[in-house]
Copies of this chain bind each other. A is one copy, B any other.
């Protein structure tokens, strides 16, 4: 049985989030920003880390895993590099703050890097890429996670799927890559499972150790596939090392607290186009690369070749016009919070 889908306007969703956040102890200013980040993720079509995630976020607040009034604190500085302690505050507010610091450092030094320890899940990673691109910065940011993926060749979950975000500003629509190191997320697997569908490509292993497109089999084996096999496995480990070493925070091995995830480590790097370059140089390169990509003949009839973020902008426009699609039961849950 599938829940009915309703359409909720951005403003309604935002107000509702603000109401719930203030009820749970957020100041008005912080509630406004936190609600905006959740609502924008939903607007952009990333429901798994927007509206659908909101009730879990509130649950973490109620259990005092996410500390509503904790603010990030500067703990070290060396030129264009800063280290911050997130003090277990709301992950999206901490991340937003640190990307802003990286942007400010980039304005001062050409580039800036902020490492953040002891923070919480940043929800949609792409948020901080869009934020940097809006400030006319190129950016790279990443987070570690609890161990949720077996390394290549292994059976046990010993690496995180550590999302990586890379952004390039572009006047006609920013280019933002937001990808986890697993081929498919658990959320995506679950969607296929609920719809009794096979994955389009292998997303893990079955219990006999064979690559599988069957979400049930993959859940049974617990062996999620790293994207690009050994490549995603290796890249996940490097991102964890960078996040923990640069921040002095916890690496993936320390992040499994009986299944709860908190105290993660993150890195935010920004380059100011205006400082390092004439903006016109960047614009012409970006146009050229996008136009060249779009020249590729589609493999499937009617197919199209998109740059990272191209579909996001379409989702945003559609959802702004028609409202954001929300499962009725999720919306009822939020109204009751």
Contacts and interface: CB of A to CB of B under 8 A. Distances in A.
Contact of A154 (B242, B273, B285, B298): B298
Contact of A251 (B81, B235, B251, B288): B288
Interface in A196-225: 201, 205, 209, 211, 223
Contacts of A150: 296, 299
Contact of A235 (B159, B179, B209): B179
A245 B277 contact: yes
Chain A interface helix/strand/loop/mixed:
mixed
A251 B175 CA distance: 15
Contact of A298 (B80, B155, B291): B155
Given A209-B299, A251-B289, A308-B234, A76 B276 contact: yes
Interface in A297-334: 297-300, 303-308
B166 A111 contact: no
Nearest to A309: B234
A78 to B, nearest CB: 3
A268 to B, nearest CB: 12
Given A229-B201, A234-B179, A251-B289, A153 B304 contact: yes
Contacts of A78: 109-110, 275-276
Contacts of A304: 153
A8 interface: no
Interface in A228-275: 228-229, 231-232, 234-235, 237-238, 240-242, 244-246, 248, 251-254, 269, 271, 273, 275
B238 A308 contact: yes
Nearest to A164: B235
Nearest to A267: B271
B276 A241 contact: no
A130 interface: no
A138 B307 contact: no
A256 to B, nearest CB: 10
Contact of A153 (B177, B211, B303): B303
A126 B127 CA distance: 31
Nearest to A249: B285
Given A271-B246, A289-B241, A289-B244, A109 B138 contact: no
Question: Which 7 residue pairs of A and B lie closest in terms of their CB atoms, listed nearest first?
Answer: A154-B296, A227-B228, A79-B109, A78-B110, A81-B110, A253-B292, A228-B228
